[in-house]
Amino acid sequence: DAITWRDASAAKSSAETTERIFARLIADLESSVFVALPLVQRALGRDAAPLLASAVWPAIGDTVMKRLLHFFAPGLPNKFHRSFTIAARLVAALEAKCASAAELRALRTSPDMVLWRGKWNLDTYHEMRKHEMDGRVKAAGALQGPFKPVTSPADAEAIKPFSVPQFHAVLQELRTILDPERVFLFALQHRFLRDACELVAQLIDAAVAGCSGAAPLDVIEVMRN
């Protein structure tokens, strides 16, 4: 078996164990399956279905989905992020062995891969991360005044923008949500980048509103620096 029931039981309690199991699985594929694929594919003939999409991935994906049900649960965002990252390495290992663009397309569009992608509740993960971000921003008062007023371009050049608490709080939040080691997932890059842009836009609006008597361009110049 690609993943035994004993492996599945051990993986429930330890992310490190899960990581080792998948690393071993990838190593086993490299040494015993991937090396033989070109020869077998050639023997089957040009018209044969790509083996990665029709045989290798169905067996592996089915085993993971049946034996690691907890793997896909989005209830704990940190655990979900790690699980998704580990699983992405497995998929990337298979995609790297595709001999052509057509074979890669066949793998990515295969029914088993479509089913695999559907198991990951990315919508829920993003909503939970967005809720966390909004909570931290609110707790830090990052979108609330008073902001240090800027009255002239000369003043703008003299002020270090991230000494303003609100600017620093937003900078820290951007670093958090765009960190691929903790929160960011490339499968959700469009949403996280949109969240980042919206947060910066909200900060600019709050800063402009909070700097009475300051020209908006002067405030933006402070933030750009």
pLDDT of residue 163: 54
Mean pLDDT across 60-66:
91
| Cα gap 61→193, rounded to integer Å | 30
In terms of residues, how long is the chain? 225
Assign 12 a pLDDT band (cuts: 50, 70, 90): confident
pLDDT digits (tens, 9 = 90+) for 34-59: 888 888 877 877 777 788 899 999 99
- At residue 146, the pLDDT reads 64
Between the CA of residue 212 and those of 146, 147, 153, 216, what are the distances in Å? 10, 9, 15, 10
Segment 129-162, tens digit of pLDDT: 999 999 998 888 877 766 664 445 555 555 555 4
Whether residue 110 has pLDDT greater than 80: yes
Distance of CA 3 to the CA centre of its chain: 24
User: Token pair 């270090």 is at which residue?
Assistant: 160
Residues in contact with 191: Cβ distance below 8 Å, sequence separation at least 6, in sequence order: 126
